[in-house]
Structure 1
């Protein structure tokens, strides 16, 4: 292409505005003098004034000088409009925290500044792309640097709800110990002896320990607390519900045994209640042991549920065994509720089945409402829901079964005698 054009360029010549003849040599190179100048326009101050054209000559050189390969001129002689060098762009530069996005149908120098997406930063001007932060970090407010994510769990001293849970748990623990002291002081009275006082003491102790289990759910989860919290609560709570079931079965057997020639008379006694408590709670212990051997709970860092924080939580290991533990508690409570409901209207000066019915009704209502709330929350809110269910259900059993007895022991002592009962 150069050879073909050079053939014609060597014969080309023209006259410029200074009447100087310009031509090319046989190699197609300009041999005349070049004038390098800058031209700019001054806008008139008034509408009717003409536009002034300014021409500033910067340098003069020969078009063809084999020994000269560098163009030299004085930049100080260049005059820009408003004193600023014009830029080949349609908009301002993109600040850090933004990236360039091309405008369809516009030149390359025209672009939009788009803020970096969630989890991304840009720390340079006119950045082409945004960089993603590591999993354990998050962009700051200006999206110019990555900062460590915050950790979320039920914290002592920072979460007000933790203080509330501690106060409620300690209050119920004190109330449970007070009731236990009353039962010990009135050990031989008919109300305490009624319906197996040994089971009553086992029930009080298991409820007390269930309230203390709340502290395993508070604070930063670690492997040992994750291993203990659900299993400890499940075992102690199963002893409580098994004791309630034992009392319910005792009431049912007692009324059936009053009929002449009833075969239920041989089942009336302390041993039956103790066997019920031991067998029912042993099944829960077996479930928890298998759970620990198959897939034990452990600490887990959840980085996906929230984009700006890391949830420190307990992974239950096997959901099947976790819900088996809860399901078994629900089975014991349901059986106890049905049996107590069947004998609630039987005549007696103190029919404990009525109070067992109310306690199991509270228990079942709380845990049925807890399941959807538990599954629909995350992080520390999920733990708070379970703590609330534990405190409410244990408090319901304690209040419905033992408060009426304590009231009669303390304020109705005239009927707390064998002849009246």
Structure 2
């Protein structure tokens, strides 16, 4: 035991002495520089860890993104055999991902996921060892800081989180810890899950919904992630009645989070069942006040012409998320309907500045002019909204209605 103590004690004495020396020198500057340099390095090494094992365990190509969650446009692209590397010049802190095909074994999937957070920490320890033997105390201190930053990143990656990571294409994933848990929980039906997930990731929502439905029914699955994938597949296929039946049947057995409940509310809004939509928005808000559910609640009230009740929800949404363009836009429409014309248009302009690609800005302007009997102007705004986003809610109905008012009957089929 004495020998063990003699090995450990000098190590801590050395570290303490090194940090004490640096504290008397440019400590703050060294810490700051190490943090700035460490951030992109950790992200690069993290994704490299995933990529190396993806290349080892699969025969397909692998895409590695550094600085973004899947952006390919206006990025620096490099190809190394089966590996395609995309580096975002305007680096975003925290952005990085590895896109690969599934492995054929659960243990390989677990190693692949774990390798991401493990590689930066391993490199940091090796770097520290090199500095101790060959470099001065400042380098040793920097190596210690690097280890600390890598360890924080390691914990952040491996502590499971239910908060989704929104990717560039609008899909979502989760942190490594959550992916490891999902892999372990789903190992008894991994093959079936991978087939469904592959269809989903390829945006083949028809086959994705078929396989997710079979998976849920066969294994009596209550995992919320699989349920949300299935619901999104049904929504994307516009199979809303089946979605509605599924929610009513399975809601009590699945632990949906606030975002899931808000999304379910949106699905019911699309079904014109606004009372049910508000029911799920309320459930989302009961878990945590969030801008999306607040805005969506107010939006449903706008549709039901309950404008006075809607305003406080938009106010709260904007207070939580000041750049919530949809909330400004919807609040503006409520104000217009209540007679606060100037304030309503101010909200519209704020919404447009925050998000110039918001098609609902033009839809609401069209509704305003339609109510005033300015049908030609309304039509122009509706067409603009449709050009910006063909999926704008009920925009085709708006266009056909105003065309009818203008006597353009031939447009209705």
Task: Tell me the TM-score normalized by structure 1.
Answer: 0.19
Task: Tell me the TM-score normalized by structure 2.
Answer: 0.20
Of structures 1 and 2, the one scoring higher in RCO (CA 8 A, sep 6+) is 1
Q: Which has the larger radius of gyration?
A: 1
The structure that is helix-richer by fraction is 2
